[in-house]
Amino acid sequence: MSDAGAASVVRAHEMGVVACHVCGAVCDVVTGTGPVASCPRCDNHLHRRRPDSIRRATAYLIAALILYIPANVFPVMYTTFLGSGFPSTILGGIIDFWRSGSYGIALVIFIASIAVPCVKFAILGLLLVTCQRNSAWARRERTRLYRLVELIGYWSFLDVLVVAIVASLVEFHALSETQPRVGILFFGAVVILTMLSAMSFDARLIWDDEKHE
Amino acid sequence: MAIHPHLVICEHCDAVFQRRKLAKGETASCTNCASILYRSEVINVHQRLALSVTAAIAFMIANTFPVVTINLHGLESHTTMWQAAMALGQGDAAPIAIPTAAVAVLVPMLQIAILIWVLLFARDGRRAPGFAHAMKLLGVLRPWSMVEVCMLGILVAVIKLSSLVQVYAGAGVFATAGLMVLMTLIAGRDVSQLWAVTGVGAAGGETQ
């Protein structure tokens, strides 16, 4: 079982066992599918697959996609300096860094705020569509993509933290002030929703042949 | 219903494997989808407790002393991560202050407190009162703990402001850097090993 090639892998339902998603214990299945009693070790409900995985993940993803528009359209920050004020959007901030010659920092923010969310949208969308169709295509690679989403997901919160730090520091009243604007609320919501979408998605569905939902 | 302590199931593809004792530094990965199944023990319970107490101290320093101080024509201003989260609480974006305070301060604080609680008992192979709930909570909190993102956020903010004002790193930023390393050591996925090394009476047979 352990060192054999991929062809001879035994899957949990074939052995009549199920993994507890809280403590990882391997438990015997009592009934067929759906909730199968609770884990004898940690008393958590056992599920063969996360309930409503695809539907929940899709709902979170669509909500995130919709909010991504106001997150980029509305300014995330408003800075006043000696009486004159100017708003800045996420993309505007990146362009400012690039123009002032801070290419490295422009790249870091671009990756965290634009590239990572877009890659997440694309990968989660791909996984949800292929799993709904019970596709057997590139299962190993798709599992790898899921792990990538889990790994990079929370780095997008970077911009929210940067706005928070800058807004709390630059508070010189008449001289200069920085305030958070509504764009950062939408952007933060996008990050949280994509994280929830990835958490709701059950990667084991990639490997299932039979239809689940 | 029985538990099979000698088996492990891949969380990403549901393949079942026989558990095996790993040499130091070894990682067991799934032959089917290449996900990591489990790792060899990097730190034992006593070391994890010691590092958790260290993390608690680092956390207190990181959140008491300013992470950044700026100076604009003699006017000084400084901030901690908590004050930064609270600064989002003004204006139209106010609701985002709550998750920000959570990921930057509250979640790491809870993780450290829960770890110290369960580890104090796990030292003697015992399960702390509320062990199952504590372990479940640690699993729920892990993805929302963003000390390393805070660290990068502080660096980006420093660079952003350095063209306009004088910027100084505070003591808090060094403690945050230390906390970042400590959190990856103490609060990673391998915390679930505590299930195997603790247990009362009959559950004692669950050790691998």
Residue-level pLDDT, tens digit, chain B, 208 residues: 678 888 999 988 889 998 888 888 888 999 988 888 888 888 889 999 999 999 999 999 999 999 999 998 888 999 999 999 999 998 889 999 999 999 999 999 999 999 999 999 999 989 999 999 999 999 999 999 999 999 999 999 998 898 888 999 889 999 999 999 999 999 988 888 888 888 754 344 443 3
Q: Is residue B208 part of a domain?
A: no
Same domain, B190 and B114: yes
> Cα separation of A152 and B149, whole Å?
11
Select the residue of B81, B136, B161 nearest A166 (Cβ to Cβ): B161
Q: Residue B88 and residue A179: Cβ atoms within 8 Å? A: no
How open is the CA angle B142-B144-B150, to the nearest 5 degrees? 115
Same domain, B29 and B47: no
ipTM greater than cut 0.85:
yes
Same domain, B132 and B186: yes
Which residue of chain A comes nearest to B36, CA vs CA? A147
pLDDT at A31: 60
Q: Is residue B114 part of a domain?
A: yes
Which residue of chain B comes nearest to A201, CA vs CA? B12
Under a CB-based contact definition with an 8 Å cutoff, are residues A105 and A131 in contact? no
Q: Is residue B69 part of a domain?
A: yes
Q: Which residues contact A84 (CB under 8 A, 6 or more apart)?
A: none
How open is the CA angle A54-A60-A65, to the nearest 5 degrees? 120
Same domain, B30 and B52: no
Q: Write out the two tokens for B88.
A: 């989002």
Q: Is residue B154 part of a domain?
A: yes
Cβ–Cβ contact B27 with A under 8 A: no
Same domain, B130 and B156: yes
CATH topology of domain A52-207: Butyryl-CoA Dehydrogenase, subunit A; domain 3 (1.20.140)
pLDDT at A36: 56
A 51-90: CB under 8 A from B: none
Cβ–Cβ contact A203 with B under 8 A: yes
What is the domain count for chain B? 2
Q: Residue B135 and residue A42: Cβ atoms within 8 Å? A: yes
Q: How far is A33 from chain B (nearest CA, A)?
A: 14
Q: Residue B8 and residue A24: Cβ atoms within 8 Å? A: yes
Q: Write out the two tokens for B13.
A: 């593809």
Q: Is residue B206 part of a domain?
A: no
pLDDT at B201: 43
| Confidence bin at A7 (pLDDT 50/70/90) | low
> Which residues from A are below 8 Å from B75, CB to CB?
172, 175
Same domain, B101 and B130: yes
Select the residue of B13, B83, B161 nearest A204 (Cβ to Cβ): B13
Q: Residue A184 and residue B68: Cβ atoms within 8 Å? A: no
Q: Is residue B13 part of a domain?
A: yes
SS3 content of chain B, % helix, strand, coil (to 5): 55, 15, 30
Q: Write out the two tokens for B135.
A: 């372990």
pLDDT at A4: 39
Q: Residue A169 and residue B150: Cβ atoms within 8 Å? A: no
Q: Is residue B32 part of a domain?
A: yes
Cβ–Cβ contact B71 with A under 8 A: no
Select the residue of A11, A168, A184 nearest B15 (Cβ to Cβ): A11
> Cα separation of A112 and A124, whole Å?
17
Q: What is the pLDDT of residues A28-77, one digit of tens each?
A: 877 655 555 788 888 888 888 888 999 999 999 999 999 999 999 999 99
Is residue A152 predicted with pLDDT exceeding 80?
A: yes
Same domain, B146 and B83: yes
Q: Is residue B205 part of a domain?
A: no
Q: Read off the pTM.
A: 0.90
Cα–Cα nearest to A160, from B205, B39, B94, B36? B94
> Cα separation of A196 and A61, whole Å?
8
Q: How far is B58 from chain A (nearest CA, A)?
A: 20
Same domain, B71 and B4: no
Same domain, B22 and B79: no
Same domain, B178 and B82: yes
Domain boundaries, chain A: 1-48, 52-207
> Which residues from A are below 8 Å from B163, CB to CB?
100
Q: Residue B99 and residue A192: Cβ atoms within 8 Å? A: yes
Which residue of chain B comes nearest to A7, CA vs CA? B32
Same domain, B115 and B47: yes
Annotate A21-36 with DSSP letters as a single string. TTT--EEE--SSSSEE
DSSP state of A133: T
Cβ–Cβ contact A183 with B under 8 A: yes
Same domain, B84 and B53: yes
Neighbours of B200 (CB within 10 A): 10
The residue segments making up the domain with residue B33 are 1-40
DSSP state of A210: S
